[in-house]
Chains A and B, each alone.
Chain A
Amino acid sequence: EDQVTQSPEALRLQEGESSSLNCSYTVSGLRGLFWYRQDPGKGPEFLFTLYSAGEEKEKERLKATLTKKESFLHITAPKPEDSATYLCAYSGNTPLVFGKGTRLSVIA
Chain B
Amino acid sequence: GAVVSQHPSWVICKSGTSVKIECRSLDFQATTMFWYRQFPKQSLMLMATSNEGSKATYEQGVEKDKFLINHASLTLSTLTVTSAHPEDSSFYICSASQTREETQYFGPGTRLLVL
Contact = CB atoms under 8 A, between A and B. Distances in A.
Interface of A: 31-32, 34, 36, 41-46, 49, 87, 91, 95-101
B67 interface: no
A49 B103 CA distance: 7
B1 to A, nearest CB: 11
Contact of B42 (A34, A36, A45, A100): A100
Interface in B79-115: 91, 93, 95, 100-101, 103-109, 111
Given A43-B106, A43-B107, A44-B106, 18 more contacts: A36-B106, A41-B109, A41-B111, A42-B108, A43-B93, A45-B106, A46-B2, A46-B105, A46-B106, A49-B103, A87-B43, A91-B101, A95-B34, A95-B46, A95-B100, A99-B43, A100-B43, A101-B43
Interface of B: 2, 4, 6, 34, 42-44, 46, 49, 91, 93, 95, 100-101, 103-109, 111
| A-B residue pairs, 9 tightest by C-beta | A43-B106, A43-B109, A98-B43, A44-B106, A100-B43, A43-B93, A43-B108, A98-B44, A43-B107
A3 to B, nearest CB: 12
